[in-house]
């Protein structure tokens, strides 16, 4: 054994289950932190009902940016908590195995020194005794070696999770505090609020690289199969599914930009969801404006997130690439007074739509990828084996403009995005960054 191997008396003092308890406490306090971030956004939105000025929007921008960062920090802290919980359990199990092997040796009438060496009692000799000593020595050495290997893996996993928390935390307060780039000021009208704070991510399969080293052999074999599926999917025209799976296997965990306009052109169902989100917000604002008579004032909005699942037959590429996504919309509405008493008001709307997904693989399903049948849980296990990494996909559409009378049913028929997505505003590396916009996609209803 190497010189840095701990003595058994030292191992007996270890209490790895305390790490599990600490991880649970971290996750509990982190849930409180996430709740505070959500309340912070709700309070600044409530303030907008009686405060509308440049100062308010500067405050709103700062709170929205910090709330988004808080969500990312909370996600990283959750992964740290999971790494500690799982690490504590794993190390406890390996310690228990070592304790058991030492007990077996002593019960067999052998001696076990503090350095783990097995001996026979003084004056006891014989080939059978020596054979038994060798068997118990090998068992103790193996148990100790595997425990220390697991400890190394756990240390690396916790260090990585801690680095992620630190990196996310350093994003607080960054940039120009007077204007967050998640709000894009347009030359043709008022500023469109940016992407709302991201929805909660699902837990996926567990912390990255959290599997013990000795259980990764099947994952290494599967990785080669999935690499072949990537090539086959690309050859069959499943380009987005292939690209996202390739990025997953790339093991960087970096965010990937999505172009909602492109996806909505491919899938009218997603376009309908986006139109519904905008229509609902416009209808709400029109109702409030009609009640108060405050016509001609720009009113911003950010819709809640709404999920949408792609059809596995009609939208095979996007189904394999994303499965289901979260959608939201943000914009500014101006309600103009009706031209005649009792008539429908005319509206002006500048808006964007947003999309978000967490790329991971669920348990309990089998997915066919270009002729390869694979269990989703097996692909997801590449993440916990440290051979692939889950990541966020998100982006915002090009700005669009609508003018016309509010339809009687409140449902707007909104424009499609540009054929080229060069005007689409995407979100690099998960941060709401500024875009270089041309003009909005225009749609005007004739009087």
The Cα 357–Cα 258 span in angstroms is: 9
C-alpha pair distances (Å), 223 with each of 32, 206, 361: 38, 18, 14
57 contacts 191 by C-beta, under 8 angstroms: yes
Which 3 state secondary structure label does DSSP give 329?
strand
- Residue 377 has a pLDDT of 65
Query: Structure pTM?
Result: 0.54
- Residue 171 has a pLDDT of 64
List for the chain the helix, strand, coil content (%; round to 5).
50, 15, 35
304 contacts 338 by C-beta, under 8 angstroms: no
The Cα 418–Cα 262 span in angstroms is: 8
Q: What percent of the chain has pLDDT over 70?
A: 73
- Residue 441 has a pLDDT of 47
154 contacts 90 by C-beta, under 8 angstroms: yes
The Cα 369–Cα 243 span in angstroms is: 13
Closest of 383, 231, 367, 385 to residue 312, by C-alpha: 367
Bridge partners of residue 400, in order along the sequence: 351, 441
1 contacts 69 by C-beta, under 8 angstroms: no
Indicate the pairing of strand 346-359 with strand 256-257: unpaired
Q: Which stretches of the chain score pLDDT less than 50?
A: 1, 174-189, 213, 420-447
76 contacts 26 by C-beta, under 8 angstroms: no
Indicate the pairing of strand 391-396 with strand 256-257: parallel
pLDDT digits (tens, 9 = 90+) for 268-303: 999 999 999 999 999 999 999 988 888 888 899 999
53 contacts 213 by C-beta, under 8 angstroms: no
The mean predicted confidence, pLDDT, of the chain is 77
Closest of 12, 13, 164, 22 to residue 88, by C-alpha: 22
- Residue 435 has a pLDDT of 35
The Cα 225–Cα 51 span in angstroms is: 58
Token code pair at residue 187: 């030359």
pLDDT digits (tens, 9 = 90+) for 396-429: 888 888 888 888 887 888 887 765 443 333 333 3
The Cα 137–Cα 323 span in angstroms is: 52
What value does the CA radius of gyration of the chain take, rounded to a whole number of Å? 29
């Amino acid at each position: 054994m190497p010189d840095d191997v701990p003595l058994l008396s030292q191992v007996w003092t270890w209490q790895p289950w305390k790490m599990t308890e600490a991880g649970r406490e971290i996750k509990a306090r982190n849930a409180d932190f996430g709740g505070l971030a959500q309340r912070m956004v709700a309070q600044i939105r409530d303030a907008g009902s009686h405060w509308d000025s440049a100062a308010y929007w500067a405050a709103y921008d700062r709170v929205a940016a910090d709330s988004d960062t808080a969500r990312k920090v909370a996600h990283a802290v959750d992964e740290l908590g999971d790494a500690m919980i799982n690490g504590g359990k794993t190390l406890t199990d390996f310690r228990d195995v070592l304790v058991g092997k030492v007990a077996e040796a002593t019960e067999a009438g052998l001696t076990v020194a503090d350095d783990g060496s097995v001996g026979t009692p003084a004056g006891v000799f014989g080939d059978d005794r020596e054979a038994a000593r060798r068997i118990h020595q090998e068992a103790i050495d193996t148990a100790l070696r595997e425990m220390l290997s697991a400890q190394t893996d756990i240390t690396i996993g916790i260090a990585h999770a801690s680095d992620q928390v630190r990196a996310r935390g350093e994003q607080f307060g960054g940039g120009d505090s007077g204007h967050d780039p998640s709000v894009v000021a347009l030359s043709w009208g008022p500023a469109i609020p940016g992407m709302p704070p991201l929805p909660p991510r699902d837990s996926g399969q567990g912390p990255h690289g959290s599997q013990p080293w000795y259980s990764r052999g099947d994952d290494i074999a599967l990785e080669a199969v999935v690499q072949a599926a990537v090539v086959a999917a690309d050859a069959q025209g499943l380009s987005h599914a292939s690209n996202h799976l390739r990025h997953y296997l790339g093991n960087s965990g970096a965010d990937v930009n999505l172009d909602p306009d492109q996806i909505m052109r491919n899938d009218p169902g997603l376009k309908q969801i986006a139109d519904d989100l905008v229509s609902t917000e416009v209808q709400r604002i029109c109702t409030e404006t009609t009640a108060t008579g405050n016509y001609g004032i720009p009113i911003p909005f950010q819709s809640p997130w709404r999920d949408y699942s792609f059809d596995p037959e009609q939208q095979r590429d996007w189904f394999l690439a994303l499965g289901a996504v979260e959608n939201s919309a943000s914009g500014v509405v101006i309600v103009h007074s009706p031209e005649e008493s009792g008539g429908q008001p005319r509206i002006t709307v500048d808006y964007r739509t947003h999309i978000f997904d967490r790329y991971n693989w669920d348990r309990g399903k089998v997915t066919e990828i270009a002729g390869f049948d694979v269990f989703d849980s097996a692909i997801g296990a590449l993440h916990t084996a440290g051979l692939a990494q889950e990541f966020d996909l998100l982006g915002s559409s090009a700005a669009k403009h609508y003018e016309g009378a509010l339809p009687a049913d409140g449902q707007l028929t909104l424009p499609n995005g540009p054929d080229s997505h060069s005007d689409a505003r995407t979100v690099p590396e998960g941060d709401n960054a500024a875009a270089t916009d041309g003009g909005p996609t225009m749609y005007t209803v004739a009087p």
